[in-house]
Amino acid sequence: MKAYIWPLPNRVFHTLIVLFVAISWITSEWDNYLDIHAIFGIAVGLLILFRIVWGFIGPEYSKFSTWPLHIDELWEFAKNFLNPKKYAGHNPAASFVLLSILVVGILVVLSGLLAYGVQEGKGLFSFLHDTFFQKMEVFEELHEFITNIFFLLIFAHLSGVMIDRLLHPKTQTLKSIVTGYKSIEATSVRLNSLQKLFASLFFIGLSIFFSYSISGQNIFIKSKYKEIEYEKHSAIFVEECAACHTLYPPFLLPKSSWKQLMKQKELENHFGDDASLNEEDRISILNFLVKNSAEFSTKESANYILNSLKEKKKYIIAITDTPYWKKRHKNIDKNIFSSKEVKSKANCKACHTKVERGLLEDNQIKIPNGA
């Protein structure tokens, strides 16, 4: 005998959350896909919210009130694991794991949005960036920690499904998430009008969310930072510095490094070139660099560069010599830096397309073709 246990909204939800979690996990491995990671992370959060509401208004077996969430039932299930009581919906072990997945899943999304806002200055929580930017690493580590718990719960869920398939193949639990049917004596479910309306509106809304999210700079991925027209702030800085190399944003070095670099003696041998300036121009550029150095920036790169230099007693005047720069670029093939398209490590604008406008956004990293 077969019973219809999981209606279409449950199966669509399950398919989408598996897909979205997979995409979120894959895109987390590359910085230039961070915005996509954020969008799919939010989508996971929306799906979990749907499932929580569905747990109150959905059909039997989907409602939390029908889940066997009692310790004594879990203990009884464990004692009779090889020959357990049959459950049309979730068994006690699955109920506890799935409820944990929903709760921890919300925490994953929330911590991710907070990390995205505090660390990157982007998204719904970008307004927290200026206040908490010095703690950005804490938010990132918290997100990673909760995410690891989330994946452990998913592993537990998958393990349970596989064990159930091996020990109780006749029930067809795994197949039921595709067909909706289980081989069990139970009452089949039917959706009422409210349930159909809610599910339809949600999935339509989810489609609208994606249409809006891929449209460009929207509230979910928008950065608080704007392009900086440095020529409007210090024309002499742009004129003298950009004439020979990439116009490096001042926030990429601390003020002590700029003071050392802008000494007349250093300028006379400026990385092998004579970059001597008259005293008025030198002081003007130095003041601009110091005023806008890493100490006075909330940007992610400035914060990490500053922290990486705390224990360095020797002045570092090359951005590429900072520990943070080396750490961030250590996995990049050295041949890319020596390619004719990039030429050297110092040529930041070859890959960071808007570095000369003060932006080092992850989604703006473009390694040149052929590099």
Confidence of residue 362 (pLDDT cuts 50, 70, 90): confident
**In whole angstroms, how large is the CA radius of gyration of the chain?**
28
First-to-last alpha carbon distance for the chain, in angstroms, is 62
Q: Which of 26-30, 42-46, 83-87, 267-271 has the weakest average pLDDT? A: 83-87
Confidence of residue 313 (pLDDT cuts 50, 70, 90): low
Residues 151 and 254 occupy one common structural domain: no
Res 371 pLDDT > 60: no
User: What is the number of H-type helices and E-type strands within the chain?
Assistant: 16, 2
Residues 75 and 201 occupy one common structural domain: yes
Mean pLDDT of the chain: 92
Residues 302 and 246 occupy one common structural domain: yes
Residues 246 and 210 occupy one common structural domain: no
Residues 17-37, mean pLDDT to the nearest whole number: 94
Residues 249 and 150 occupy one common structural domain: no
Amino acid (one-letter) located at 151: F
Res 250 pLDDT > 90: yes
For residue 304, give its domain range.
Answer: 230-364
C-alpha 184, offset from chain centre: 42
Residues 135 and 273 occupy one common structural domain: no
How many residues does the structure list for the chain? 371
Residues 145 and 263 occupy one common structural domain: no
The DSSP code sequence of 198-234 is HHHHHHHHHHHHHHHHTTSS-TTT-BS-----HHHH-
Give domain status of residue 306, yes or no.
yes
Residues 139-166, mean pLDDT to the nearest whole number: 94
Residues 179 and 238 occupy one common structural domain: no
Give domain status of residue 299, yes or no.
yes
Domain count, the chain: 2
C-beta atoms surrounding 368 within 10 Å = 12
In order of 139, 289, 309, 327, the CA distances from 312 in angstroms are: 25, 20, 5, 15
- Look at residue 3 and give its three-state secondary structure: strand
pLDDT greater at residue 313 or residue 83:
83
Give domain status of residue 284, yes or no.
yes
Q: What is the pLDDT of residues 62-120, one digit of tens each?
A: 999 999 999 999 998 888 877 778 888 999 999 999 999 999 999 999 999 999 999 99
Q: What are phi and psi of 360, to 5 degrees?
A: -125, 50
Report the CATH number at residue 7.
1.20.950
**Which pTM was predicted?**
0.88
Residues 205 and 238 occupy one common structural domain: no
Res 366 pLDDT > 90: no
Residue ranges with strand state E in the chain = 3-4, 181-182
